[in-house]
């Protein structure tokens, strides 16, 4: 009788753990969806909001760049608080951050014109938004450590889907009601993000308790749900046992340093297209409605690479995928540079699948393959830092070029810089593989 009771308890626990795993996967996917929806409002539509307030293109570029710089310092502080605090977990930190963003976004309703206060608030929104991204990536790692398998590619793909669906209609909303609609939509997406984090936090805490109970009845507390699938190492994770001095890392990996110079070139055009798409579509007769549709197409084109990367990398080496992605980056910005109509700009974003969406996961895996674990951790962090540097440089220079010349000149420079970056990557990536 006791055996039967234990067996029933074990079965109930297993069912509950699988249910919890499904809820956490759905919640994690919704976190990404809400996050990237707000990213579309705050970052992708930054020009649409700030230009009517009286800001120049150069000033908008500086705002975005300063926000990125602050995020570099803010993210490790937030991560350290989560690691050291006995009261605040990683989910707790993200919950408080979402609440702070709601407050900051609400203050925009009271700022009708260009001012120092608006400048500061918008910089803080960009900084906090950017700093949250690696924390959400780390959340998947923490869930996996607790025995909950996370379908990371699918969840991240839902982020692209959320971004695509919102931006597809947001441009129309701006055309109809003006930039004032942006803070309102931002508040709605942030409210969804906060509620989802709270739900995931409660479910996760319940899952931890359930796991402890499961051990007492002899249930396997490995990853609940599907068979274990290795999760790529989060870009912001740190292996303290194998920590390597940064200068030693650079000295021992000179080719990798050169490779990341190429990364700066690729991501230069990526940031230009993300930050100044409104000015680009205006140059060919488009509107904010067209910009929203372009951003939606771009996000939709990311999903195939995100959903099916694990299958693609089985057939092709990451070395080959990085070369293909470098060409994809170049073709996208080149076609946009040559575009005389919105149709060509739409078509150019077909290469988003073979560019950004393919390059990011391929680079993460490539670093893990060619370096020792301790070096790989540093390599991931270095790669992430270089993408941020590219975003800062392109935000400032892109805005200046728009004010001094025009969107066509900005795209010409972006095309040349991206082509140079692609050439560096194509020439260097094979040498790194051979050395490894």
Domain boundary among 157, 186, 219: 219
Q: Are residues 203 and 279 in the same domain?
A: no
Query: In this structure, what are the phi and psi dihedrals at residue 234, rounded to the nearest 5 degrees?
Result: -55, 145
Within-domain flag for 280 = yes
Within-domain flag for 434 = yes
pLDDT of residue 203: 78
Task: Output 97-100 pairs: Cβ under 8 A, ≥24 positions apart.
Answer: 97/128, 97/131, 97/132, 97/135, 98/132, 98/190, 98/193, 98/194, 98/197, 99/194, 100/128
Within-domain flag for 7 = no
Residues in the chain: 436
Confirm if 191 and 102 have CB atoms less than 8 A apart. yes
Q: Are residues 275 and 375 in the same domain?
A: yes
3-class DSSP state of 148: strand
Q: Which of 181, 28, 60 is nearest to 126 (CA)?
A: 60
pLDDT of residue 8: 45
pLDDT of residue 141: 63
Separation between Cα atoms, residue 58 and residue 43, nearest integer Å = 15
Within-domain flag for 397 = yes
Q: Are residues 207 and 236 in the same domain?
A: no
Averaged over successive runs of 10 residues, the pLDDT of the chain (436 residues) comes to: 46 60 82 91 89 91 89 74 61 86 92 90 91 74 68 78 88 87 93 90 72 56 41 39 58 82 92 90 89 87 80 85 93 94 91 86 79 64 80 90 93 95 92 67
How far is Cα of residue 50 from the mean position of the Cα atoms in its chain? 23
Joined together, the tokens standing for residue 398 give 């892109």
Q: Are residues 203 and 308 in the same domain?
A: no
CA distances from 212 to 106, 205, 304, 363 (A): 41, 11, 38, 37
How far is Cα of residue 401 from the mean position of the Cα atoms in its chain? 26
Q: 121 lies in which domain range? A: 17-219
Q: Are residues 355 and 241 in the same domain?
A: yes
**How many other β-carbons are positioned within 10 Å of the β-carbon of residue 327?**
16
pLDDT of residue 223: 45
Domain boundary among 219, 243, 263: 219
Within-domain flag for 245 = yes
- Tally the domains of the chain: 2
Domain boundary among 219, 253, 280: 219
Q: Are residues 192 and 243 in the same domain?
A: no
**Helices and strands (H, E) in the chain, number of each type:** 16, 0
Q: Are residues 273 and 154 in the same domain?
A: no
CATH of the domain at 420: 1.20.1250.20
């Amino acid at each position: 009788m006791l055996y039967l009771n234990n067996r029933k308890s074990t079965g109930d626990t297993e069912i509950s753990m699988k249910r919890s795993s499904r809820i956490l996967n759905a919640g994690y996917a919704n976190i990404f969806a809400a996050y990237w929806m707000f990213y579309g409002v705050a970052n992708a539509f930054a020009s649409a909001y700030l230009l009517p307030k009286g800001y120049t293109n150069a000033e908008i570029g500086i705002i975005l760049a300063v926000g990125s710089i602050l995020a570099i310092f803010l993210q490790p502080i937030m991560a350290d608080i989560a690691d050291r605090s006995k009261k605040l977990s990683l989910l707790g930190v993200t919950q408080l951050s979402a609440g702070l963003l709601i407050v900051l976004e609400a203050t925009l309703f009271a700022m009708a014109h260009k001012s120092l206060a608006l400048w500061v608030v918008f910089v803080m929104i960009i900084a906090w938004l950017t700093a949250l991204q690696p924390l959400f990536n780390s959340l998947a790692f923490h869930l996996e450590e607790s025995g909950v398998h996370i379908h990371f590619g699918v969840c991240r793909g839902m982020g692209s889907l959320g971004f695509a669906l919102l931006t597809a209609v947001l441009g129309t909303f701006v055309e109809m009601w003006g930039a004032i609609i942006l803070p309102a939509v931002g508040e709605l997406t942030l409210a969804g993000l906060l509620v989802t984090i709270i739900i995931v936090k409660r479910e996760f805490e319940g899952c931890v308790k359930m796991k402890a109970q499961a051990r007492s009845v002899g249930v396997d507390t490995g990853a609940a749900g599907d068979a274990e699938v290795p999760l790529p190492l989060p870009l912001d994770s740190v292996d303290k046992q194998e920590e390597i001095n940064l200068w030693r890392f650079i000295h021992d990996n000179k080719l990798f340093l050169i490779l990341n110079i190429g990364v700066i070139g690729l991501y230069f055009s990526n940031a230009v297209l993300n930050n100044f798409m409104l000015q680009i579509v205006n140059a060919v007769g488009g509107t904010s409605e067209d910009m929203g549709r372009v951003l939606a197409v771009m996000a939709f084109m990311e999903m195939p690479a995100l959903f099916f990367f694990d299958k693609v990398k089985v057939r092709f080496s990451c070395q080959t995928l990085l070369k293909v992605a470098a060409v994809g980056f170049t073709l996208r910005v080149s076609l946009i540079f040559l575009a005389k109509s919105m149709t060509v700009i739409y078509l150019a974003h077909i290469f988003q699948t073979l560019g950004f969406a393919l390059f990011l996961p391929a680079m993460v895996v490539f670093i893990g393959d060619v370096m020792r674990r301790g070096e790989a951790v540093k390599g991931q962090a270095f790669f992430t830092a270089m993408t941020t540097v590219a975003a800062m440089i392109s935000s400032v220079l892109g805005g200046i070029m728009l004010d001094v010349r025009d969107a066509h000149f900005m795209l010409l420079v972006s095309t040349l810089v991206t082509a140079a970056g692609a050439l560096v990557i194509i020439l260097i990536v094979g040498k790194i593989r051979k050395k490894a």
